[in-house]
């Protein structure tokens, strides 16, 4: 761990970001260039004291998870993110695999979308980043570890996830999830991360085995999804997916399909975030 270099890098990256880039007010009373330490702490979900100690070279070695949060908060490019990991004494996350981070440009788009729910997913269906509106709509899907990081795995092994989808739509949703995973498996043929996930899904779910055997293939671009939200009720959302050129990550944007859903989404913004009784209020529409 190169504490002095790490401290200098974090401080300079913090000072280089305009508050508006991360959705914060750039008011006339602001005396510092860039972000304040407390703003970085808020965006990264850590204490201000720890941010101060990092910038003063007095901290313990940050974890991989903490570095990922800092990379997202500071909107680091892929090269800057890798440099951050090296300075902290960790190997950077691979381009594919378990430790993937949302691309900086896609995270900026999440900020720009503001009150429109949006999230970034890997091509295997791991939620890499969400904006606040998406957390309000479907809960925090970035908190999972292991196979539960993948939407497909939770869909076929966690009844709470399926419960927020109306029974009459569950077969449709399951087929789309499997067909999208089949497309990824074809594109990443021979990738042990993909093959391993499929093997574990086949072992865990007879329903997945049934659908996988049908060999349906479809990359989701647009869809309409019903969310049975535990606090505001039924919501109809139109889902649009933008895919990066290498098809490795996707930006999913959800907009209300009717006036009633628009009103309920506005109500959610007023109510704010509380614990959802099911622990899984929504599922990304992959």
Among 254, 251, 268, which residue's Cα sits nearest to residue 225?
A: 254
- The C-alpha atoms of residue 3 and residue 222 are separated, in whole angstroms, by 46
- 211 pLDDT band, cuts 50/70/90, is very high
- The C-alpha atoms of residue 176 and residue 41 are separated, in whole angstroms, by 38
| pLDDT at residue 27, as a whole number | 65
Helices and strands, counts by H and E, the chain? 13, 5
**What does CATH list as the number for 3-87?**
1.10.260.40
As a whole number, mean pLDDT of residues 252-271 equals 91
As a whole number, mean pLDDT of residues 22-49 equals 78
Average pLDDT, the chain: 84
**CATH 1.10.260.40 residue window(s) in the chain:** 3-87
Report for 83-92, 136-145, 180-189, 203-212: range of highest mean pLDDT: 203-212
**Edge-to-edge, what's the strand order for the sheet holding 233-243?**
127-130, 118-122, 249-256, 233-243, 222-229
- 95 pLDDT band, cuts 50/70/90, is low
Decide which of 95 and 277 is more confident: 95
CA angle 229, 233, 234 (to 5 degrees): 90
Decide which of 71 and 203 is more confident: 203
**CATH 3.30.450.180 residue window(s) in the chain:** 104-271
**What does CATH list as the number for 104-271?**
3.30.450.180
| pLDDT at residue 99, as a whole number | 42
């Amino acid at each position: 761990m190169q504490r002095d270099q790490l401290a200098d890098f974090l401080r300079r990256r913090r000072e280089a970001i305009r508050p508006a880039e991360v959705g914060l007010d750039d008011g006339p009373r602001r005396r510092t260039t860039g972000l304040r330490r407390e703003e970085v702490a808020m965006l990264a979900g850590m204490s201000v004291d720890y941010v101060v100690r990092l910038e003063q070279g007095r901290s313990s070695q940050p974890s991989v998870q903490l570095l990922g949060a800092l990379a997202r908060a500071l909107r680091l490019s892929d090269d800057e993110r890798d440099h951050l990991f090296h300075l902290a004494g960790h190997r950077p996350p691979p381009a594919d695999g378990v430790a993937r981070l949302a691309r900086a440009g896609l995270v900026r788009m999440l900020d720009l979308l503001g009150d429109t729910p949006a999230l970034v997913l890997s091509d295997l269906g791991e939620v890499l980043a969400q904006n606040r509106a998406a957390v309000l709509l479907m809960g925090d899907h970035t908190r999972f570890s292991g196979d539960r990081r993948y939407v497909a795995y939770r869909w076929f092994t966690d009844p709470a996830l399926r419960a927020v989808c109306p029974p009459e739509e569950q077969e449709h949703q399951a087929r789309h999830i499997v067909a999208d995973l089949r497309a990824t498996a074809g594109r990443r043929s021979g990738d042990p991360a993909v093959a391993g996930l499929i093997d574990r899904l086949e072992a865990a779910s007879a329903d997945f085995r049934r659908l996988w055997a049908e060999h349906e293939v479809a990359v989701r671009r647009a869809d309409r999804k019903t969310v049975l939200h535990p606090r505001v009720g039924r919501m109809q959302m139109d889902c649009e997916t933008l895919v990066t050129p290498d098809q490795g990550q996707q930006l999913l944007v959800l907009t209300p399909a009717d006036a009633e859903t628009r009103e309920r989404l506005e109500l959610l913004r007023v109510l704010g975030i509380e614990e959802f009784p099911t622990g899984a209020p929504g599922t990304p529409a992959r």
